[in-house]
Amino acid sequence: MSGVPRLLIVLAAIMGACGVMLAAAAAHLPDASRLAAASSMLLFHACAAIATAAVADRAIVHATIGIVAASGFVIATSLFAGDLVLRQYAGHGLFPMAAPAGGTLLIASWVLLAVAAMWPRQR
């Protein structure tokens, strides 16, 4: 496994850990729906990033496109969840439209993964 998929797996594992921590915080804080949403996004997309990096590394999908999709999952989820967490704890977001930008990039990453699966394998 090359360095890029390995780095994506490390980042996704950190996302998963953060998702568990946010789920615990959401369970113990009143009015923590933002944290619950951030937790879900982190946990779901951590798994997606790991799986996408793995199938790209094995050339089950187009490797380059798959790695771009996995990178999109990591970046987009960080934007989306980071914005929600800051809104919960600091009262303001990362920057205007950070969560919608992250959500849009997540959708694009899922579409890109579909393209990677349809593209001919690299030999």
pLDDT for residue 18: 98
The DSSP 8-state label assigned to residue 59 in this structure reads T
Amino acid 41: pLDDT = 97
Domains of the chain: residue spans and CATH? 3-118 (1.20.120)
Give the pLDDT of residue 121. Answer: 66
pLDDT along the chain (123 residues), means of 10: 86 98 95 95 98 93 96 98 96 95 98 93 59
Give the torsion through C-alpha atoms of 106, 111, 56, 19, to 10 deg. 20
Q: Which two tokens stand for residue 95?
A: 């920057």
